[in-house]
């Protein structure tokens, strides 16, 4: 599999990492063992810093999984701020609820259960910050729906835009060809959309950041 960082760089950064608390460590181990995708820890720290800098009052997360990033976001939100997070997996929802409960963040995190493509158009709220990390085949539509509920000056943070390095690879295994093609097309759309100022950064699995004009 292609690398976004050289192994020596990855090892060095890991050696500098601040030790996560027991709950986050447990969640990282659980996700790894159960093969549940969660946000890379470097990208998670980057996300936390952006949340702290922007001080959003209302955040939308598209793709809760087990609530790893939900918890990391909610922990750094200011008093009175809330996170709405959308998840359609009937397997993941109870896991997310369990971890959110253990983190004591039920008052800050609202799980919206169902298909984001149906939920977002029905939302009555506008958001200061949106984190998109859902099914890659839906990225384009989810991105466009997200812009409808993102406030002017708001930030959208999109994960997996280097897709394990395959978006930049000349040779892609058959199992990744379709998904890599989808992400490549999305990246062009993301960077050329006139509603946002956008860039892609080699953090974690590739992070896109857009600011709505």
Strand partners, 211: 155, 197
Domain that holds residue 95: 7-212
Length reported for the chain: 213
Q: Where residue 2 falls among pLDDT bands split at 50, 70, 90?
A: low
The answer to whether position 62 is within a domain reads: yes
The answer as to whether 1 is a domain residue is no
Structural domain total, the chain:
1
Phi, psi of 40 (to 5 degrees): -55, 140
Indicate whether this model's pTM tops 0.75.
yes
Residue 2 forms part of a structural domain = no
In this predicted model, what pLDDT tens digit does every residue of 112-134 receive, in sequence order?
A: 999 999 999 999 999 999 999 99
In which band, very low, low, confident or very high, does the pLDDT at 6 lie, cut at 50, 70 and 90?
confident
Domain CATH number, residue 120: 3.40.50.150
Q: What is the pLDDT of residues 184-205, one digit of tens each?
A: 999 999 999 999 999 999 999 9
Q: pLDDT of 44-102, one tens digit each?
A: 999 999 999 999 999 999 999 999 999 999 999 999 999 999 999 999 999 999 999 99
Res 1: pLDDT: 61
Q: 98 in a domain, yes or no? A: yes
Report how far residue 189's alpha carbon sits from residue 133's, in angstroms, rounded to the nearest whole number: 16
């Amino acid at each position: 599999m292609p690398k976004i960082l050289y192994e020596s760089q990855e090892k060095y950064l890991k050696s500098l990492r601040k030790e996560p608390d027991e709950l986050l460590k447990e969640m990282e181990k659980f996700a790894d063992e159960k093969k549940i995708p969660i946000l890379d820890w470097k990208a998670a720290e980057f996300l936390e810093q952006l949340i702290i800098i922007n001080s959003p009052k209302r955040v939308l997360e598209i793709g809760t999984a087990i609530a790893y990033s939900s918890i990391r976001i909610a922990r750094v939100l200011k008093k009175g701020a809330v996170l709405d997070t959308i998840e359609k997996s009937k397997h993941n929802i109870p896991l997310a609820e369990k971890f959110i409960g253990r983190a004591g963040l039920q008052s800050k995190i609202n799980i919206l259960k169902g298909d984001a493509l149906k939920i977002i158009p029905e939302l009555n709220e506008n958001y200061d910050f949106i984190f998109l990390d859902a099914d890659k085949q839906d990225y384009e539509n989810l991105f466009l729906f997200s812009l409808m509920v993102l406030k002017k000056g708001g930030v959208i943070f999109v994960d997996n835009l280097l897709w394990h390095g395959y978006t930049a690879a000349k040779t892609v295994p058959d199992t990744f060809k379709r998904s890599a093609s989808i992400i490549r097309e999305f990246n062009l759309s993301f960077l050329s959309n006139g509603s946002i100022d956008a860039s892609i950064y080699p953090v974690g699995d590739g992070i896109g950041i857009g600011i709505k004009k």
